[in-house]
């Protein structure tokens, strides 16, 4: 069948692997230092990989290609999830709940001298489970979807990420839910200008990112979006 599918220009590709990470369907691999579309039937043509490519090596094209096989994708995703769970068990527990202590010197522990810090939370409620799917504050909003822990790990969360945005938060591990349907409704049924996803580096936070990316896909809208990852000791990871 002729359908829309991605094309990777190997001349432009620098092998960074960001597209492979962004493709949750698992269609892309890095082979000999270059990104390659290895499983055409895993490519849904949505283009999660496009905004992550720093060299512009990925574009859309229409050509003869196998149909998107959602069942095969889900089977592969389940197999990958099981492999990750086995790895976590081998490592004696989930990395997200493994104990760590961070060393700070006395200067780090001294009070911050910033005068009159201001909360940038623009609405209530802010929990994904509690927030309505339609509300006036969503109209024309820049939407921040953040993992609960990010506000505690990253010191400048309010000024750097929350200011000027509508913030909704959640933890897929503790809430034990898939946020995809609710986030889809929020994005589809409101005039959202952009989406920023702020997550922790731990694997369980991947559930929040996947739900947001699936919601963007399911909404049928093309909205600018980005993912920011925070380390457990409070740094922005590249």
Domains of the chain in sequence order = 2-70 (3.30.70.20), 119-237 (3.40.50)
Cα separation, 107 vs 36, whole angstroms: 48
Q: The pTM is what?
A: 0.59
Q: Are strands 142-147 and 166-170 parallel, antiparallel or unpaired?
A: parallel
Produce one character per residue of 204-224: b if its CB has 16 or more CB atoms within 10 Å, e if not: bbbbbbbbbbbbbbbbeeeee
Residue 144 tokens, joined: 């921040």
Q: Which range, of 74-78, 85-89, 159-163, 196-200, averages the lowest pLDDT?
A: 85-89
What is the per-residue pLDDT for 25? 87
What three-state secondary structure class fits 34?
Answer: strand
Give the CA angle between residues 8, 9, 12 to the nearest 5°: 125
pLDDT band at 191 (very low <50, low <70, confident <90, very high): very high
**Tens of pLDDT along 34-44?**
899 999 999 98
Phi-psi label, residue 121: left if phi above 0, alpha if psi -120 to 50, beta otherwise: beta
* Angle between helices 206-219 and 180-189 in degrees, nearest 10: 40
- Residue listed under structure tokens 């009159």: 116
**Tens of pLDDT along 80-116?**
777 666 655 555 555 555 655 556 555 554 555 566 7
């Amino acid at each position: 069948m002729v359908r829309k599918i991605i094309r990777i220009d190997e001349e432009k590709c620098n092998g960074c692997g960001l597209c492979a990470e962004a493709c949750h369907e698992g269609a892309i691999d890095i082979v000999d230092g270059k990104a390659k579309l290895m499983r055409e039937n895993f490519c849904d043509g949505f283009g999660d990989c496009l905004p992550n490519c720093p060299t512009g090596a990925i574009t859309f094209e229409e050509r003869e290609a196998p149909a998107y096989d959602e069942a095969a994708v889900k089977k592969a995703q389940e197999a990958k999830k099981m492999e990750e769970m086995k790895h976590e068990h081998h490592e004696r527990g989930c990395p997200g709940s493994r104990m760590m202590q961070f060393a700070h010197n006395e200067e780090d522990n001294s009070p911050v001298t910033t005068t009159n810090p201001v909360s940038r939370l623009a609405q209530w409620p802010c929990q994904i489970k509690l927030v309505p799917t339609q509300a006036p504050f969503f109209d024309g909003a820049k939407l921040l979807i953040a993992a609960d822990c990010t506000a505690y790990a990253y010191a400048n969360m309010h000024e750097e990420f929350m200011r000027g945005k509508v913030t909704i938060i959640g933890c897929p591990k503790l809430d034990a839910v898939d946020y995809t349907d609710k986030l889809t409704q929020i994005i589809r049924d409101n005039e959202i200008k952009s989406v920023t996803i702020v997550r922790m580096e731990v694997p369980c936070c991947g559930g929040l990112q996947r739900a947001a990316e699936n919601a963007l896909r399911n909404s049928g809208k093309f909205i600018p979006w980005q993912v920011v990852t925070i380390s457990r000791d409070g740094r922005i990871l590249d």
